[in-house]
């Protein structure tokens, strides 16, 4: 059974600082890994999808790396802004269609 862990559970940083969010998973035989953003009371917005053959993906200020062999992914958010405050979820997909989610990291960026 795939277990996904996200550390830390919560993070508070001043505006402008870089954010580093960690995700680890127990079964390295994955198809892909997705990072999502969830705002309070809202749905999930997909940020980045990394295929199993890739080592990283970038979109604007966001960069996600994947080390499949060690079961780890890291999401970097450069020059954080108050608008980045949200919960960030990591989800991995094995050979079937199910996503296994971590519990998330709640980020607060202080102005």
Quick check: helix, strand or coil at residue 84?
helix
Window 33 to 92, contacts with other proteins (CB under 8 A) = 34, 36, 41-46, 49, 51-52, 89, 91
Q: Which stretch binds other proteins (CB under 8 A): 18-26, 64-72, 75-83, 100-108?
A: 100-108
Q: Are 36 and 91 in contact (CB under 8 A)?
A: yes
Helices and strands (H, E) in the chain, number of each type: 0, 11
Quick check: helix, strand or coil at residue 83?
helix
Min separation Cβ 14 and other proteins, Å: 27
List residues near other proteins by CB under 8 A. Answer: 4, 31-32, 34, 36, 41-46, 49, 51-52, 89, 91, 96-104
């Amino acid at each position: 059974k795939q277990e996904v862990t996200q550390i830390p559970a919560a993070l508070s940083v001043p505006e402008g600082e870089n954010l580093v969010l960690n995700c680890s998973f127990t079964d390295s035989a994955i198809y892909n890994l997705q990072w999502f953003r969830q705002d309070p009371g809202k749905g999930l917005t997909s940020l980045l999808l990394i295929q199993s053959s890739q080592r990283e993906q970038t979109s604007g200020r966001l960069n996600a790396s994947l080390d499949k062999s060690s079961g780890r992914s890291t999401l970097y958010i450069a020059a954080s802004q108050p608008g980045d405050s949200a919960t960030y979820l990591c989800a991995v997909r094995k050979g079937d269609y199910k996503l296994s989610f971590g519990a998330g990291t709640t980020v607060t960026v202080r102005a």
